[in-house]
Homo-oligomer: A and B are copies of this chain.
Amino acid sequence: MRKLESLSFRFDGEKILILDQTLLPQQKTWLDVTQPEAMIEAIKSLRVRGAPLIGVAAAVCLVRQAELGITKKDLLNLADALREARPTAVNLMAAIDRLREVMQNNFQISALVNMAEKIFSEDIELCANIAKNGARLIQNGDGILTHCNTGGLATAGVGTSIGAIRLAYESGKKNIHVYIDETRPLLQGGRLTAWEMAELGIPHTLICDNMAPILMREGFVQKVIVGCDRIAMNGDFANKVGTYNLAIAAKYHSIPFYVAGPYTTVDVHCASGADIPIEERPGHEVRGVFVSGVGQVQWSPANVSVRNPAFDVTPAELVTGWVLDKKVLNMADIKNGGLLACMP
């Protein structure tokens, strides 16, 4: 496999390295996750995260093991284990399924290597196209609200919704301002997007998730753009918990709400959001914060009962536009099979 490199993911010809995202922005630590057990742990614990990137990372991990000569049987078992590391994002499953198809049709290391390299470079290209389609929706002077983290840390390329914001800014729309939901409980907005916006030099302001409607009411927000982990055929989509909350607030204030993702996020087997499994994560994430390398605080009673869905489903009726790599779809497009038409 050739060398691969993105903002938070590297294959150096021998080792697979990830920038441990649980330690950002305080520490930049590259972690060796060449061993499958390490990769699976890294995906489960969000050291590597972002629906597109975990698909890429899992594919490279699997093919590296093929290169190292593990048996076809072990390879298929590993494919299963990687595929199940996180249940909501469909890109992970899509990437593994593409490799399984190669294994079944033409079990040659070179064919697997070609597919892994293709998945990596395709993600870069898909991001670039999403950015181009999304940037057109942004006007100079817009306040743009976003949730979680959808940039260069979450993909192999420039990102999805952050990619669009970045391209808009870099192509001359210098008077935009990004409002960042901190994204409880795991704070990907406060930790990662705030850091990424500063690195890119794009003006930004961090808020708690429950403050978004205030900014909308005060006129600071002209667009909402979020990423996604799975899009169903009726346009419903799963994304980081809090997205549904934000979509309702945008609707109430008549603010356009866009979701951005590559075709690999579309699940042709999901008729609607009701078919998307939602990962429920451990309660301690809600009882306090546990930020690796920084510290932890548990503020609530030790055994208090909690709910902790990691994702939620936003119904299509709340979405203004679906920003895919091929084009931007509206509700009429979705009803006319527009998502299927975006598949390669």
Contacts and interface: CB of A to CB of B under 8 A. Distances in A.
A3 interface: no
Contact of A252 (B206, B252, B301): B252
Contacts of A200: none
A309 B218 CA distance: 12
Interface in A259-308: 286-289, 291, 294-301, 304-308
Interface string A9-30: 0000000000000000110000
Interface stretch (A34-42, A47-55, A132-140, A243-251): A243-251
Given A241-B211, A294-B297, A305 B190 contact: no
Contacts of A286: 182, 190, 206-208
Contact of A190 (B246, B249, B299): B299
A299 B191 contact: yes
A194 B194 CA distance: 30
Given A291-B297, A300-B190, A208 B241 contact: yes
A297 B300 contact: no
Contact of A213 (B25, B206, B245, B297): B245
A174 interface: no
Given A289-B289, A300-B182, A205 B306 contact: yes
Contacts of A198: 301, 304
B209 A306 contact: no
A210 interface: yes
A13 to B, nearest CB: 33
Contacts of A187: 299-300
Contacts of A183: 210
A185 interface: yes
Nearest to A278: B214
Contact of A205 (B244, B288, B299, B305): B305
A335 interface: no
Contact of A194 (B195, B242, B301, B312): B301
Contacts of A241: 208, 210-211, 214
A184 interface: yes
Given A210-B246, A213-B245, A296-B297, 16 more contacts: A182-B286, A185-B208, A187-B299, A187-B300, A195-B300, A206-B306, A207-B286, A210-B242, A211-B241, A211-B309, A213-B244, A213-B312, A214-B241, A214-B309, A249-B249, A288-B289
26 contacts: A182-B286, A184-B209, A187-B299, A190-B287, A191-B299, A194-B301, A206-B287, A206-B304, A208-B209, A208-B286, A208-B308, A209-B209, A209-B210, A209-B245, A210-B242, A210-B246, A211-B308, A211-B309, A213-B245, A245-B245, A245-B249, A249-B249, A294-B297, A294-B298, A294-B299, A295-B296
